[in-house]
């Protein structure tokens, strides 16, 4: 059974497999992609079951939901706060490393006296592939 403060859920085989899939990719997949990966192991699986399990994993803070304003939300198996970059052309989402974010978080905690528990930094623009395509046209 997996617990996270107020959220207690029985750990199902589907949810366990979903976590394995999300933890093994850096592609920040959609629910449809997760569904297609799980369907092989669970032929009677429905898309609504995938969405329900994604909501549970999000409530348990085991995954991140990334609502980038595209047609579909994307999911990240790494729940630790970290920045993302979303390409406005191809719609891919990337984890990015930016030095100094720890300092910003520490400064914000000190200067506001709030109890900060995380952050969400999303950057937008053109990825290298789309930027290079744009430059050559």
Q: What percent of the chain has pLDDT over 90?
A: 63
The tens digit of pLDDT for each residue in 39-94 reads 999 999 999 999 999 999 999 999 999 987 667 889 999 998 889 999 999 989 99
Q: How confident is the model at residue 16 (pLDDT cuts 50, 70, 90)?
A: very high
Mean pLDDT of 100-110: 86
Query: What 3 state SS string does the chain have?
Result: CEEECCEEECCCHHHHHHHHHHHCCCCCCCHHHHHHHHHCCCCCCCHHHHHHHHHHHHHCCCCEEECCCCCCCEEECCCCCCCEEEECCCCCEEECCCCCHHHHHHHHHHHHCCCCCCCCCEEEECCHHHHHHHHHC
Q: What percent of the chain has pLDDT over 70?
A: 90
User: Would you state the CATH architecture of domain 81-137?
Assistant: 2-Layer Sandwich (3.30)
pLDDT at 3 over 60: no
User: Would you state the CATH architecture of domain 1-76?
Assistant: Orthogonal Bundle (1.10)
pLDDT at 34 over 80: yes
Domain positions in the chain: 1-76, 81-137
pLDDT of residue 137: 62
């Amino acid at each position: 059974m997996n617990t996270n403060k107020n959220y207690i859920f029985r750990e199902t085989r589907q949810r366990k497999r979903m976590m394995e899939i999300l933890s093994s990719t850096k592609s920040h997949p959609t629910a449809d992609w997760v569904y297609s990966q799980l369907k092989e192991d669970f032929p009677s699986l429905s898309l609504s079951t995938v969405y329900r399990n994604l909501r549970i994993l999000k409530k348990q803070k085991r995954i991140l939901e990334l609502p980038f304003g595209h047609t579909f939300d994307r999911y990240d198996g790494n729940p630790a706060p970290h920045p993302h970059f979303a390409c406005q052309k191809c719609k891919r989402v990337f984890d990015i490393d930016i030095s100094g974010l720890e300092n910003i978080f520490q400064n914000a905690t000190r200067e506001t006296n709030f109890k900060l528990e995380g952050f969400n930094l999303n950057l937008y623009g053109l990825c290298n592939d789309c930027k290079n395509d744009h430059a050559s046209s």
